[in-house]
Structures are given as C-alpha cells and as structure tokens.
Structure 1
Amino acid sequence: MKHLKILSIFIIITTTTWNVGCEMFTAVTDMEGVLETESVLINNLEGYIKAQEEKLDFLRKKVLEYQREHDSAANDVSEYLLNPINAYLLTKRLTTDWREVERVMTLDVGSQFVQNVSDYRNIMKFPTDEDLAGAASALIRLQDTYGMKTEEIARGKLNGVQFSIEMSSEDCFEIGRQSYINSDFRHTILWMNEALNRLNNDSNLNRADVLEYLAFSTFKEGRVRDALEMTHELLELAPDHRRALGNKNYYEKELMKLNLKSELRGDDGTNDVPVDDSVEFHYINNPYNYDIPERKMYELACRGELRPLDSIVKDLKCSYVDNGVPFLKIAPLKLEQISHDPYIVVYHNVMYDSEIEIIQQMAKPRFRRATVQNHKTGELETANYRISKSAWLKDSEHQVIATVVQRVKDMTGLSMDTAEELQVVNYGIGGHYEPHYDFARKEETNAFKNHEGGNRIATVIFYMSDVTLGGATVFPALRTSLWPEKGAAGFWFNLRRSGQGDYKTRHAACPVIVGSKWVSNKWIHERGQEFIRPCALEPDHDMEF
C-alpha cells in the first residue's frame, strides 16, 4: 500500500552462528552478545511502532477528511446533495474509499516484525530460562557471600559501592520467584518483601501475587501466625483466591496445634529464633583449625575481613629472583611470599597484555561449561558450586602458549613434560568455585585416571584481568586471599615432600561482584619431578588425615 512504509530489518550473518542455550550466565564474555541481541530487538520494536504509527496516521488523516466533508453536508443536506459532484464524492467515499480504509484497518503491519523476533532466536544470542535462574542465583550468592542487604542490592549498591542501576518491584519479585522454585524460602521472603516495598502506581505487579509467595514461604520457615496474617490480607484483595482459601484453613489448623503445644509447655508460642551473626572465633589445636564452619571462614576471606596471623606475616618478604635461570639474571622475577607452609607465592608482571589478548581470543570459540571430577566415577560433570567456562590450549598451537609454559617452568623450576594443557577460564555472573583441593585425595582412586603424570604436585594460576569488585582466590585455613591483578601469577605446592596432599591448600574462587574475571591455570603433575623436588626421608605432615 503506497500510504504505508513498512520497515524491514535484515541481519547479515557472516561468520558465526550463535549456540542457543549455551549457559550464558556461566561466562561474562558470553553476555556481550546478549547486548547485541537487545540492540537488534530495540531496532525491530522501533520499526514495529513506526509501522503502526504510519497506519494510524493514515487513518487519522482519512477520518479528519471525512469528518470535514460530513460537517459541511450536515449544514444543509438538500443543497449539498443537489450538487452532482458532492453526490458522486459521497458515493465514492462510501464505496471504494471505505473499502480502502477497511483494508488498512485490518492490515497486520506488524507481522513482519513479529516474525523477525522468531527468526532472530535461531541466529542470535538469547538467554534461556536456565540463564535467568542462574543470574538470579548469582545475585543471591553475592548477597550471602559478601553479607549484602537485600534493599541495598535493589538500590544498586554492591559491596558498599553505589551504581546507577536500580531494581523495580517486578525485578525483585522475579528473584524471589526463582528462590521459591529452588525451595529457598529464606531468600524468597527477603526478595518478596523488597518487591512489596517497591510497589508503586507504575508497577505492573499485583500485590496479591507477592503475598501468595510470601505467605507460603513464611509458613515454610515456621512462622505460621505471620503466614496467616498475610493470607488474610491476600483474601481482602482477592476474596475468591482458591489457594489462599485452602491455605487459610490449613494455617489455622496448624496454629491451633502450635497453641496447644505451647500451653502444654507453658511458653508464649513464639517460634522466632534469634540469629547470632557474631564473627568472633578462636582456633583450636593449631592455627589452621577453627571453631567455626569453613563456609564462614570462606565468606570472611572473600570480604577481606580475614587476615593472616601476625606470627606468619612477619616472616614474609618480597624480592627479585632468577631461580638459577640464565635469562632471568637480566630480567628477574618479582616474587611476593604469601605463605611458607604451605609454600605459596605471587609473581608480579609475568604475563603481557599482548599475550593475554591472544590467549583470550584463542579460548573464546572453545569455551564450555567448566566441570569438576566426580571422585567416585572419575567422570567430569558440571556443578552449581563451579560457575565458569573454560577451554584448553596446547603448547603446540601458538608460540605464545609455548612461551607462557616455558615461563611457568622458569618460575617453578619444575618439569612441564607431564603438566596439563593450559586451562583458560572466564567466570560468569557471580562466577565462583567453592572450596576445593587441586590434588586427588586417597579415596579418589579414579582421579586423573586418564593422565599418566600421577597427582598434581603444584598449581600456577595466571590472572589475566583486574576485577572491579570481588573474585579473590582465598585459602580459608590460612586466612589468606590473593586478589586478581592483571599479569600476576600465583604458585603453590599441592603435595608435601612426602607425596601426601597438603590439606591447608584448600582454596576457593570467590564470587565476582563486578567485572570479568579471566584466569589461566597450569597444573603440574608429580611424575618427572623426582629429582627436581625429591621426596623427603621423613614424613613432613604434622597431622594425619
């Protein structure tokens, strides 16, 4: 139709087809493509709106034209119709013109734009429901690990830093809903309450919907009286709410049971248990065993609230070293001691930006969800306690990889003959790896069954990016944290000279709050190190495990 200009958006795919359903939340680099998707969708929506507006503009123009003629005729109908031209034009308006108007009224000018969205799903990056669940879980992970308040996160304040973004009541509701799906009723309550606090006249959210989730989650947390009060409020808003009516009867019966038990016990029937958030703790037996759970130690370390003991720090030094390597005599390494027992150091400025860029570009097309080894079967599998994507690069693939591996040899003095390939990792939204060992323990008989190098004697981790907030590598038992510094590398021995695993090397990658964390790992195995790091004549473990 000549009166309407239908806009079309064409996308030319030249080299890459996106892998739909590729778990975008597990790597921040994958989220970059989602912004491109959003940009295309915005343009498509603008085209849809423009086409609809052009259609309405055409109809508005016609109705004004017809109304003007109709008002003119209404002033003197007889005289108007006596004019043969007027009679003809009236007849034409009610035949061909109105057929054209009717056709435009029924014309679906937006169908092409709707089809565009369907087509884009096959060729562009679209998050899945799993990505939504993963992103919501990431926020909750950050909330717990860093002790952030719900209202602060919703306000855009992360770990004390205020950002410009702010969440709506609908945004908070969705996090609460995802928590509910996971039977995480404590966080459901926190986020549903925040959704209620943020309800306003501009919200599309129904207060009754929030109360339904909130009341049931409150009941599941043992607060029956509060759940009943919320259900009463819900029924005031929606008197015919079937689930609320059923829940009301059930809560009343449960409350009667609780009241009866309270009378028999002689208490007031309250079921709220005070929470002790004290962070005071003391070590028992030795400086590496504490009387609080490891999880608490891990979170304190991630927040930077856990410091090494003064008795350990006082003997640590920084120095330039050449490790007996001729080249390093003119370009010594910058070494910072982190711990003597176990041996942990950080080498600064040991990876160039140009090397990092090449390694990242090589890794991106190969990224897959990072896995962990099932200690019973020896098979690799994904796990919620490791959120990242990784790729493996061989020395022979590029001179930069070979150079980096040679640098690892110079730094550690260990043989690379049985070392694993270089693993490149990008952490996802709230990406983390909970406390774990790099070495295989005695009961893990199937660990490294496809590797002929034996156990992992040592670990080298290159930090290939700075991280704005969070993302530290922490050793809870040592009260020590390594903070990401682009170009630096951490190194530690996983095995003691006896060949036994050093349990004090248990470590974790803290969740990334803001930023993209890139690292590369080089795991060195014990075979081939017999004369480089010989076994001691006496056991060197101070504890039996």
Structure 2
Amino acid sequence: MGVWSVCCILLISCQLKFSCAHNDFFTSIGHMTDLLFTEKDLVTSLKDYIRAEERKLEQVKQWAEKLDAITTTATQDPEGFLGHPVNAFKLMKRLNTEWGEVEDLVLKDMSDGFISNLTIQRQYFPNDEDQTGAAKALLRLQDTYKLDTQTISSGDLPGLTTGLPFKSTLTVGDCFELGKIAYSEADYYHTELWMEQALKQLNEEEESSIDIVTVLDYLSYSVYQQGELERALDYTMRLLTVDPEHQRALGNLKYFDYQLAKQKKAEKEQSTKEESNKKQQEESERKEYLPEKRKYEQLCRGEGLRMLRRATVHDPQTGKLTTAQYRVSKSAWLAAYEHPVVDRINQRIEDITGLDVKTAEELQVANYGVGGQYEPHFDFGRKDEPDAFKELGTGNRIATWLFYMSDVPAGGATVFPEVGAAVKPIKGTAVFWYNLFPSGEGDYSTRHAACPVLVGNKWVSNKWIHERGQEFRRPCGLKETD
C-alpha cells in the first residue's frame, strides 16, 4: 500500500502548508521534528563560537602568564629593574601600545556568526502558546492514564523500553513551570501536584534557581482555592519559618486562621447526616456530569474493554471547518491525482468496502502531537446540523475508513465509549464502520475518540465516504426502521 510513501507526500505537503507558520508546534510530532534539526544547527554554531572564544582566551592567557612573570620579578626591586633602559622602554611600550592590543582582543566579539544564525532561526522558534500547549498535554496525559508526578518527572512512562537513550527527566524548574502554567489556567489541582513535586525535588537537587519560599507560596494558595484551609495554613506557617517577614504570608496566616475558625463553627452547627447526604449528592451530580469522559479515559487506559496545518473540525454553528482544543493534531488532505499511491489507496478502500469513493472526501493524513488526542465525537452530521457538509453536495458521511500508519508504544487507541471497545494502533492495520443505518439515520453508537498519545508518534489516514453514489451499493431497507 506504500504507507511510507504517503508519509513522504504528507511531509512535503506539510512543508508547503506550514513553512510560513511558526505556532502550534505541539500539535504535531512530525512538525516538531524540524525543531530538532534547527536546534542541532544552533548547537553546531554555538560550538564554533566556543572554539573561537577558547582560541581568544588562550591568547589572553599566554599574555597574562608572560606579564605575570615580568611583574613578579620587577616588583621585587622596581628601581633596579627600571635601571635597565631596555626594561624602562618595554614598560612604556607595553602600557602605551600592547595593553591596548590586549584590550581589543578581550573586547573582540567572537559571537557574530552565532548571533546572526540565532537571530535568523528565532523567527521559527515555538512561542508561549506552544510551551503552554505542551505543558497542558502533559497534564492531560497525567489525568487520562492516572500517572503520578514522580512517574512523569522520572521519565519512566509506560510503554518505554528500558535503557532508551532519549528518556528525559524533569528538574525542579521544569516541575515548577508546569505548576505555574496550571496556576495561570486557574487549575489549582495540578498546581498543587506539581508544586509538591518541585518541593520534593528541591531536597534532592543541589542547585536550583527555584527557591522554597516561592514554591510554598504557590502551594498554600492552590490548596486554599480547593477549600483545604488546614493544609493552606500548614504551608503558610512552613513558609514563615523560612521567611518570617513575608508580607503576603503574614496576611494569609491571619485570614486562613479566621476562615478556619469560621468553617469549624459552621460544621458544628450542621449534622453529620446532612453533610453526608450533601457529599453523596455532589458525587452523584459529578458522576452524571462526566459519564462519557470517565468511560473514554477508562477505555484509553484499557479498563473495561470489550475488544474488537492544524487539523480542523466541523463547526455546527457556522458550517465551516475550524480548529478546536479537543483535537490536538495536524493534518493534510491528499487528492488521488497528486500521487499514484493515493489513487491505489482509494481503490483498495473501494474494493474492500464495496462503496463508491468518488464522492468521498480526500484522503486525510494526520500526525498527532504531544499528548495528541481527539475527544469523543461523531463523524456524521446530526439532525440539529442541517448544513453539515452542505458545501460538498454529497450527503452525509455514511462510513469511515481509518488506517494506522505507525505503531504507538503507549496510548493513542481509538475508543468507542458507547460500546466499550478500543482499537490499538498497529502499523498497516485499519478499522472501518458505518456511521449511518441503511435508513440514513445516524448510528449514535459510533461515537468515538482518539486517546492521548502517551509514548510514540502516531500517524493515521482516514477516508470519509458519503451517501451519494451508494444508492445501489448500500440500498435503503424496505422499512424505515431498517
């Protein structure tokens, strides 16, 4: 089938489509690979600069050693030394001429080539959005796969082969940065987790630019925001043992004390039974609010299975394609005329399914980014989306064909929460399903999702087949309920 050829076509397409863009790097592993080569080029340039600086310093060192020997001897008997006219002349010459040459050498900028290269490349660097997106991807993986902060920080992720050279660990600064990004999103739960990890590693790392006072400050506030006043008070008191004059902590100490006393008084006035009922009600409401999300994440973890440019999604409000936070990937569309491999793939899909692909959408090839995912969704247009695919003029999406073009060591499964099924990505395999019943009604059990990629690089291609052209290939039943 030539899936590697399709990847090559996609890479060329991506270069054409994304060469002018420098954001959303985190949404595609394929797009991020360019950054590695950019960084390698910069390292080479930096090493050239270092070698030039070392040559300069060697010259300065030789000059210093020569002058050190002269001045050590001369200062033992200054008058006797200068009594020799040659020494007197050379002193005048050194101070008038040679020290100026040394000054020029010391001030000489050896970084011109490196700075020029860095300036050129900087315009293609990731921006704040990319850094935040990558951080949020780590938090998403943490939740979906129930990973603790120590597992992520140590780099020992499920699916990694032991001894791999690219295993990375997080420093105190990295953990602190994750906590700060969560804090900026008012995500105090993850702020607490990562600030605690930073605090833990502060005791293990000898040097760090992060100080314990700052970490404790974030911790006390994040746990307070989650309603844990006693722990907020504990962290505040711990902060004050390190910095007794910390003004915000002194103010918080009084406030938390007051709020805690108020809370305890309220708890005494409320019966245990009422509190228990309240908690049960809250838990029940929470479960009702996120039933699908729980099923989706369970399937992504392999629990409860019954085994069997930035990418866009359809906006039901506008009828147009747009980007969405619940889809983290990049994709390209390949037409049959662009390459014989694409044409052969289309023909193979038609031969296997028996459906006409002439009215199908172009082959979409997608590469998922850091924690790449696509949350639960339908491929077909629902009744409340009358303009879905109207511009195509080929009716609704009757079926979906999905190719897996790479193996994924961990995560990245395609899951169907309604039926409790999951399909693990295995290179060279595919999955096919009908989105519509023969009557044309949507099959709501086909709601599916792409789980976050935990480890690896996920490439897929899919073909959305439409109703038009299938009238005699998949005819309607005799009854409307068929």
Classify the TM-score, shorter chain.
0.7 to 0.9
Structure 2: how far apart are the matches of 1:393 and 1:90?
A: 77
Q: Could you say which residue in structure 2 is the equivalent of 1:208?
A: 213
Closer, same or farther: CA 246–55 of 1 in aligned 2, 3 Å: farther
Q: Could you say which residue in structure 1 is the equivalent of 2:9?
A: none
Q: Could you say which residue in structure 1 is the equivalent of 2:200?
A: 197
Q: Could you say which residue in structure 1 is the equivalent of 2:181?
A: 178
**Residue pair 1:148, 1:159 contacting (<8 A) in 2 also:** no
> Secondary structure of the equivalent of 1:392?
strand
Q: Could you say which residue in structure 2 is the equivalent of 1:259?
A: 264
Q: How does 1:510-529 map to 2 (within 5 A)?
A: 510-529=451-470
Determine which of 364, 367, 371 is the counterpart of 1:423: 364
Q: Deviations over 1:76-132 (max 9, x none)?
A: 33332221111111111221112222333333433553343222213xx42211111
> Secondary structure of the equivalent of 1:148?
coil
Q: Could you say which residue in structure 2 is the equivalent of 1:58?
A: 59
Closer, same or farther: CA 400–109 of 1 in aligned 2, 3 Å: closer
**Residue pair 1:146, 1:159 contacting (<8 A) in 2 also:** no
Structure 2: how far apart are the matches of 1:51 and 1:274?
A: 68
Structure 2: how far apart are the matches of 1:86 and 1:234?
A: 64
Closer, same or farther: CA 463–266 of 1 in aligned 2, 3 Å: closer
Q: Could you say which residue in structure 1 is the equivalent of 2:390?
A: 449
> Secondary structure of the equivalent of 2:330?
strand
Shift of 1:53: 3.1
Q: Could you say which residue in structure 1 is the equivalent of 2:155?
A: 156
Shift of 1:60: 2.4
Q: Deviations over 1:204-243 (max 9, x none)?
A: 2211221222111111111122112212322333344444
| Letter aligned with residue 302 of structure 1 | C
Closer, same or farther: CA 157–445 of 1 in aligned 2, 3 Å: same
| Letter aligned with residue 519 of structure 1 | V
Q: Could you say which residue in structure 1 is the equivalent of 2:225?
A: 220
Structure 2: how far apart are the matches of 1:115 and 1:242?
A: 45
Q: Does 1:433 align with 2:433?
A: no
Structure 2: how far apart are the matches of 1:292 and 1:98?
A: 75
Structure 1: how far apart are the matches of 2:132 and 2:426?
A: 30
Structure 1 range deviating more: 226-235 or 157-166? 157-166
Closer, same or farther: CA 379–156 of 1 in aligned 2, 3 Å: same
Structure 2: how far apart are the matches of 1:425 and 1:256?
A: 56
Structure 1: how far apart are the matches of 2:110 and 2:357?
A: 65
**Residue pair 2:42, 2:114 contacting (<8 A) in 1 also:** no
Shift of 1:187: 1.0
Name the structure, 1 or 2, with higher relative contact order (CA <8 Å, separation 6+): 2
> Secondary structure of the equivalent of 1:297?
helix
> Secondary structure of the equivalent of 2:22?
coil
Q: Does 1:465 align with 2:406?
A: yes
Shift of 1:511: 0.9
Shift of 1:160: 6.2
Shift of 1:486: 1.4
Shift of 1:460: 0.4
Q: Does 1:505 align with 2:446?
A: yes
Q: How does 1:379-394 map to 2 (within 5 A)?
A: 379-394=320-335
| Letter aligned with residue 417 of structure 1 | K
Structure 2: how far apart are the matches of 1:108 and 1:218?
A: 50
Shift of 1:195: 0.9
Q: Deviations over 1:481-519 (max 9, x none)?
A: 111121222111000122110011111111111111111
Shift of 1:245: 3.9
Determine which of 230, 238, 241 is the counterpart of 1:233: 238
Q: Deviations over 1:374-406 (max 9, x none)?
A: 212212221111000111111122222111111
TM-score w.r.t. the length of structure 1 is 0.77
| Letter aligned with residue 85 of structure 1 | V
> Secondary structure of the equivalent of 1:97?
helix
| Letter aligned with residue 238 of structure 1 | D
**Residue pair 1:427, 1:517 contacting (<8 A) in 2 also:** yes
Q: Does 1:296 align with 2:299?
A: no
| Letter aligned with residue 139 of structure 1 | L
**Residue pair 2:172, 2:198 contacting (<8 A) in 1 also:** yes
Closer, same or farther: CA 392–42 of 1 in aligned 2, 3 Å: same
Q: Could you say which residue in structure 2 is the equivalent of 1:68?
A: 69
Structure 2: how far apart are the matches of 1:386 and 1:292?
A: 19
Shift of 1:255: 2.4
Q: Could you say which residue in structure 1 is the equivalent of 2:339?
A: 398
**Residue pair 1:461, 1:489 contacting (<8 A) in 2 also:** yes
Q: Does 1:127 align with 2:126?
A: yes
Structure 1: how far apart are the matches of 2:400 and 2:314?
A: 17
> Secondary structure of the equivalent of 2:465?
strand
| Letter aligned with residue 297 of structure 2 | E
Q: How does 1:274-289 map to 2 (within 5 A)?
A: none
> Secondary structure of the equivalent of 2:449?
strand
Q: Compare the two structures and name the one with the higher helix fraction.
A: 2
Structure 2: how far apart are the matches of 1:274 and 1:58?
A: 75
Closer, same or farther: CA 52–238 of 1 in aligned 2, 3 Å: farther
**Residue pair 2:159, 2:409 contacting (<8 A) in 1 also:** no
Q: Does 1:36 align with 2:41?
A: no
> Secondary structure of the equivalent of 1:202?
coil
TM-score w.r.t. the length of structure 2 is 0.87
> Secondary structure of the equivalent of 2:418?
helix
Shift of 1:274: 9.8
Structure 1: how far apart are the matches of 2:477 and 2:254?
A: 71
Structure 1 range deviating more: 258-267 or 460-469? 258-267
**Residue pair 1:376, 1:446 contacting (<8 A) in 2 also:** no
Q: Could you say which residue in structure 1 is the equivalent of 2:12?
A: none
**Residue pair 2:28, 2:370 contacting (<8 A) in 1 also:** yes
Shift of 1:521: 0.9
**Residue pair 2:23, 2:129 contacting (<8 A) in 1 also:** no
> Secondary structure of the equivalent of 1:477?
coil
Q: Could you say which residue in structure 2 is the equivalent of 1:110?
A: 111
Structure 2: how far apart are the matches of 1:380 and 1:297?
A: 27
> Secondary structure of the equivalent of 1:42?
helix
Shift of 1:424: 0.9
**Residue pair 2:178, 2:191 contacting (<8 A) in 1 also:** yes
| Letter aligned with residue 244 of structure 1 | A
Structure 2: how far apart are the matches of 1:127 and 1:242?
A: 37
| Letter aligned with residue 75 of structure 1 | Q
Structure 2 gaps, min length 5? 1-14
Closer, same or farther: CA 160–219 of 1 in aligned 2, 3 Å: farther
| Letter aligned with residue 374 of structure 1 | D
Q: Could you say which residue in structure 1 is the equivalent of 2:82?
A: 81
